[in-house]
Amino acid sequence: MIALLLCALAAVLYLIGVRTYCRRFPARAFSGWRAAAFLAGDAILAAALLPQADAASEASFAAHMFQHVVLWLVAPPLMLLGAPLLVLVGALPTRAARRFTHFADSAAGRVLFSPITAWLAYVFVLWGAHFSPLYEAALEHPAVHAVEHALFLAVAFLFWGTVVQVGYVPRPLGFAARAFMLFFTIPQGAFLGFALGASRDVLYASYLHRWGSAAAALLDQHNGADVMWILGGFILFVAFMCTAGAWASHEHRSAIAAGAILCAFFLPARVHAQQYNGADLYMQHCASCHGAVLEGSRDGPPLLRVDAAEVDFMLRTGRMPAGIPWDQNYRQRPQLTPPQIAAVEDFVMTRSQGAKSLPQAMLPPAGYGLRKGRELFQENCQQCHGAGGQGNGAVGYHNVAPEILDDTPLEIAEAVREGPDVMPRFGPRTIDDEQLGNLIAYIGYLQHARYNPGGMQLKNIGPVAEGFVAWTFGLGLLVLLIRRIGTTD
């Protein structure tokens, strides 16, 4: 009953948090599907923790494995789709929310929310819980069983938090890393199921006593192994395919946006901007933090001296409007269309005393300037953004200094001239327009010279062997069929 009360309390607190978030940030409407996903996951979690489910898990190993699959692989990702951390930091008082985000950015927070920590904890707890005295102790003592479930949920939320990145996330992770995590997680459940199913001995004495015969207990154990292998593997495979699909969709949207921004770079006229009212868009998306007359507030700096390039960069890279006003914002899908961005820029620049024009670069002819651009990149960019521009340098690892392989020439020029976040500014005296053009040309070379195996590019991962899928599911179904034939009278 305590578990059910906690699930009900979580649902109530979540709905209160959503209401508070929408009241504090009315311009940032909270999607209804997020709330529905969280409540669905919470309801599934409550159903898995019902007394009847616990009784079934104590009587049958297969039922127990089904309960574990729900706790590991079903409820946590659904609840995380509801962006609970965004609701938390958006609903908490500013001081308390800042303490949480500062902890997430600290050394301890980076270790705790690291994908490596999450994956190792997942594997260690998955194997340790089923091949240690903890399993038998959980069957004999309800308190230990509750602690075991709490441990499962904590590790599962930590693991899925690195994969399901909706709303605020302490450690933003690229699609490639998320796909790799799922790719290397699928075999763990398969190996565990194979180890349980291949055993000819009853591994848990409690089930032997409950079933009364070794043959019945062993059959139940093999059924539980099938649940862990087939059902668990299928859920992880679906998650992997959803991640790959979201990745491909992201690349497609990035290509379309890049084309629009390239047109804006070479044709900087404010085409169609007059269709939108910049003042209304600013009041809707920006004024709550930067003030109605650009004077700023405790949640955002003033914009009275901001340059057009900085406004354009923040809006085009999706860093603004910010989901969490006072936290560092990372690149994401733009929330405004290019004409809307132009309208907001026009409104801001009519009141700002900053530079009105966007940066210009003298782009060299195709194939020229690469050597000079490479020297500039190695001298000024490589230490943070990595030798290949993949964001794996010494600063932040994909976070503070992100990957730049999807950036457009205009975004690169704006970043160099304005220095967003912790990046230093490089004015014309440090890098002139000709050098800036060479640097953009070299980054363009890095973007287009990547190995492409065909089909979806998927960020250099390369083709995924169909044999992996065949081994994970085909072999499991084959073993299941063989065992069924062998046990048929």
Question: Could you tell me if 4 and 143 lie in one domain?
Answer: yes
Question: Could you tell me if 192 and 120 lie in one domain?
Answer: no
Question: Could you tell me if 27 and 56 lie in one domain?
Answer: yes
Question: Could you tell me if 163 and 29 lie in one domain?
Answer: yes
Express each pLDDT in 208-239 by its tens digit. 888 888 888 888 888 888 888 889 989 999 99
Mean pLDDT lowest among 284-293, 317-326, 471-480: 471-480
Q: Quick check: 458 pLDDT over 80? A: no
Enumerate residues 6+ apart whose C-beta is below 8 A from 247. 175, 176, 179, 456, 458, 459
Express each pLDDT in 55-106 by its tens digit. 888 889 999 999 999 999 999 999 999 989 888 888 888 788 878 878 887 8
What pLDDT does 410 receive?
Answer: 85
The range of the structural domain enclosing residue 123 comes to 1-170
Question: Does residue 400 form part of some domain?
Answer: yes
Question: Does residue 273 form part of some domain?
Answer: no
Question: Could you tell me if 127 and 3 lie in one domain?
Answer: yes
301: three-class secondary structure by DSSP = coil
What pLDDT does 121 receive?
Answer: 93
CA angle 107, 387, 417 (to 5 degrees): 85
What pLDDT does 67 receive?
Answer: 92
The pair of three-digit structure tokens given for residue 19, joined into one six-digit string: 């209401």
Question: Does residue 238 form part of some domain?
Answer: yes
Q: How many CB atoms lie within 10 A of CB 460?
A: 13
Express each pLDDT in 245-301 by its tens digit. 888 776 666 555 555 545 544 444 444 445 567 788 888 788 878 887 788 877 778
Question: Does residue 136 form part of some domain?
Answer: yes
Q: Quick check: 2 pLDDT over 90? A: no
Express each pLDDT in 389-398 by its tens digit. 777 666 655 5
Question: Does residue 335 form part of some domain?
Answer: yes
Q: Is 176 exposed, middle or buried (0-12, 13-18, 19+ CB in 10 A)?
A: middle
Q: Quick check: 400 pLDDT over 90? A: no
What's 345's domain CATH number? 1.10.760.10
What pLDDT does 10 receive?
Answer: 93
Decide which of 336, 358, 380 is a domain's last residue: 358
Question: Could you tell me if 94 and 157 lie in one domain?
Answer: yes
Express each pLDDT in 414-442 by its tens digit. 888 888 777 888 888 888 888 888 888 88
Question: Does residue 324 form part of some domain?
Answer: yes
Q: Quick check: 454 pLDDT over 50? A: no
Question: Could you tell me if 249 and 330 lie in one domain?
Answer: no
What pLDDT does 489 receive?
Answer: 56
Decide which of 118, 153, 170 is a domain's last residue: 170
Q: pTM score, two decimals?
A: 0.63
Q: Quick check: 473 pLDDT over 70? A: no
Q: Which residue has the higher pLDDT, 134 or 421?
A: 134
Question: Could you tell me if 218 and 252 lie in one domain?
Answer: yes
Express each pLDDT in 7-48 by its tens digit. 999 999 999 998 888 887 766 667 888 899 999 999 999 999
Question: Could you tell me if 40 and 156 lie in one domain?
Answer: yes
Question: Does residue 370 form part of some domain?
Answer: yes
What pLDDT does 70 receive?
Answer: 93
Instruction: Give the C-alpha separation, 192 to 69, whole Å.
Output: 13
* Percent with pLDDT over 90 in the chain: 16
In the chain, count H helices and then E strands.
25, 0
Question: Does residue 272 form part of some domain?
Answer: no
Q: Quick check: 451 pLDDT over 80? A: no
Q: How many CB atoms lie within 10 A of CB 175?
A: 19
Q: Is 226 exposed, middle or buried (0-12, 13-18, 19+ CB in 10 A)?
A: buried
Question: Could you tell me if 144 and 10 lie in one domain?
Answer: yes
Decide which of 120, 152, 170 is a domain's last residue: 170
**Total domains, the chain:** 4
Question: Could you tell me if 153 and 74 lie in one domain?
Answer: yes
What pLDDT does 456 receive?
Answer: 45
Question: Could you tell me if 62 and 74 lie in one domain?
Answer: yes
